[in-house]
Structure formats: C-alpha cells, structure tokens
Amino acid sequence: MRLDPLPPGTQIPLTDDAAGPPAGAPSKDDALKQVDELTKRIDRLQEALYAEGKRALLVVLQGRDTAGKDGAIRKVFGPLNPQGLIVTSFKAPTTVELAHDYLWRVHQALPPNGAVGIFNRSHYEDVLVVRVHELVPESVWRPRYEQINLFERILTENGVTILKFLLHISRKEQLERLRARLDDPAKYWKFSEGDLVERDKWDAYTAAYEEALARTSTPAAPWWVIPADKKYLRDLLVAQVVAETLERMDPKYPGPPKELEDLRRRLA
C-alpha cells in the first residue's frame, strides 16, 4: 500500500469516504508490525542525519481536531533520539508574534541542520483558521498561498526537506473521538468547547483545506493526504513517507578523523 503526493494544482474533494482505509490496506496487526520496522529505519537514518549535521527534515502535520497529530508524533517519532528531534505546536499567536509578520514565529521554530523538526499545526493556520473565522480580510490571506510557496522554496533551496501531511478524518469519526474524550477521565483535559465551535464550521474548513492543498502542493514541498479514520493506517502511511524520504536524502556519517591511527595508538 502506497500513497502518492498530491500533484501541484490538483484540488481533491475531502469527502468522508476519503478518510477511510484505502484499497489494499493491511490488517491492523500487519500495519502495527510495519510501523515498528519503519520506526527502526527512521531511527537509524535520523542518527546519520544528526551526525552529518548538514541538512534538516521538516514534517508539517495539519488536520482537524482529533485527527491524530499528537498520536502520529508519538507513534512514528517517539522512538527517535530526542537530541535530534524538535516538536513545535502552534497555538493562537501571542502579542509578540502578532507584532511581526505571520511567518516570523515559524522561522524561529525551523529545525537546524542535523535535526528533524515537526510542526503540530503550522503556518497553514494563516490560510485556514484565519480564513474560516474571517480574522483578516480575504485581500490579506489570499496572497499568502504564494508567499508560503516562496517561503518553502527558500527553505528547500537551503537544505531543508519538507514533508506536509494532512491527516484527513471524517465527520462521523471525529464525533466518536470527541465523545470518547468526555467518557474517559484520562482524556477530559483534551476536550475543549472550542472543538465544537470548529466542528460547526466543517464545510468552511473543508473548502479552506481543499484550496490550500491545491495552491500549495509543489514539487519541492508536496502535500500528502493521509486517511486518518484508522489510527494504525495513519501511522503506517506517515512512517512510510518519512522513511522513504530519509532514504532518498541518504545522510552520511562523517569520515574518520585525520589523526585516526595516532588516536588509536594513544588509546592502545
């Protein structure tokens, strides 16, 4: 089972059916075994990337409430060495952040060379939430598609590989997960009345996501639409893309020090 990145300019309908298991999806047991093997591959490649210290990988996770951004981070990236992993969660901008352009806080959070950076939500909030809630006029948010494309192009031309994942969940599955948060005392803290406000704007968010995907999936920084109704398939598909991307990056461990033989003699 493999997914392809979204071709540039392609607008796909984010239907509830598209959030379910794709054709050829493995069983839950098989998927969990594959995720385990993939995370081991990712771990080995991350170590080489960290040791090389010349490039970075940025993983952008977007999705509606309960789509599983936290879960994907925990399952796919949890086993990695935390020294080379940076996770940033973008909430409502602070007063300081609002005093700058909307990409300022994003630039501050980019992973340095050698690191894997994960954005839990991202700069795309400024063409999603901002659009749906009409926080700024359309004349302000609409040019941001091209601004974001240029921003990401700068990053990719300077050693940052970008993977963008939309975790696509159906309306029915989201409802079940929201209810589960109210049925489990260990999940009370995850529930917010704001989730219900956002759910009421389901169609507006669907339109915003569909246009954002079509306008900002580029050859250098493509979007991957991940069916997220089944958590184990969500994790498998994300892990596959991350592992294959790191393998294409092919990070190399640094060579031996010039004084290798002398150092060996001194340690004999």
The pLDDT value recorded for residue 99 is 97
- Residue of 115, 132, 114, 113 lying closest to 124 (CA atoms): 132
Assess if residue 181 is contained within a domain: no
Assess if residue 215 is contained within a domain: yes
Assign residue 146 the CATH number of its domain.
3.40.50.300
Read off the pLDDT band of 255 (50, 70, 90). confident
Assess if residue 141 is contained within a domain: yes
- Per-residue pLDDT, averaged over 237-250, amounts to 98
The pLDDT of residue 61 is above 80: yes
Q: Alpha helix locations (H) across the chain?
A: 28-52, 69-72, 95-98, 104-108, 129-132, 138-141, 144-156, 171-183, 193-199, 202-216, 231-249, 260-267
Which residues, 6+ apart, have CB-to-CB distance to 126 below 8 Å?
102, 141, 144
Domain that holds residue 81: 17-171+202-253
- Can you tell me whether residue 169 is helix, strand or coil? coil
The pLDDT value recorded for residue 262 is 80
Assess if residue 23 is contained within a domain: yes
Mean pLDDT, the chain, rounded, equals 95
Assess if residue 264 is contained within a domain: no
The pLDDT value recorded for residue 36 is 97
Assess if residue 180 is contained within a domain: no
The pLDDT of residue 258 is above 80: no
The pLDDT value recorded for residue 268 is 76
The pLDDT value recorded for residue 194 is 86
Assess if residue 226 is contained within a domain: yes
Structural domain count of the chain: 1
The pLDDT value recorded for residue 260 is 73
Assess if residue 50 is contained within a domain: yes
pLDDT digits (tens, 9 = 90+) for 41-50: 999 999 999 9
pTM: 0.94
